[in-house]
Copies of this chain bind each other. A is one copy, B any other.
Amino acid sequence: MNIGQAAKASGVSAKMIRYYEETGLVMPAERSDKGYRIYSDKDVHTLRFIRRARDLGFTVEGIAELLALWRDRGRHSADVKQMAMGHVAALRRKIIELEEMAATLQTLADCCAGDDRPDCPILMDLAAGADGPAKMPHRFGPLAETKV
């Protein structure tokens, strides 16, 4: 199977498959005599695992750990569970952060007439000193600035 077919079968783009190979997340694929990458069903299976983990929001680094556990027949399910719960906790922190932003903005917007006059509590809040009504961001460890 060529990379394009593996991409289609796994839901991971050809670009990303090459990237995962380059960064060591997956083993380098075999090559045809002309240098084309060749994928087996097993490879596609692994790629689908990766795709799935990405869909659940794991970073590539986290996926590497998950893959290692997956391959380790002697793994303890506790280790997997701990990883999963750690990720859930990170997701929840991020959710709370976003909810606070949304709530603040919604409150401000609710106070805004939204007509053709220039007066706007949203701008007034932004322009207010840091001591104003909008909430300061809560720091939750290494999750850093929100990208929405």
Contacts and interface: CB of A to CB of B under 8 A. Distances in A.
Given A66-B126, A112-B80, A115-B77, A52 B134 contact: yes
Interface string A106-142: 1011001111111110110111111010111100000
B118 A78 contact: no
A140 B99 CA distance: 17
B88 A102 contact: yes
B53 A126 contact: yes
A25 to B, nearest CB: 14
Contact residue range for chain A?
35 or more
A34 interface: no
B145 A90 contact: no
A4 to B, nearest CB: 18
Contacts of A64: none
Q: Which 4 A-B pairs have the closest CB atoms?
A: A81-B114, A77-B120, A91-B102, A81-B112
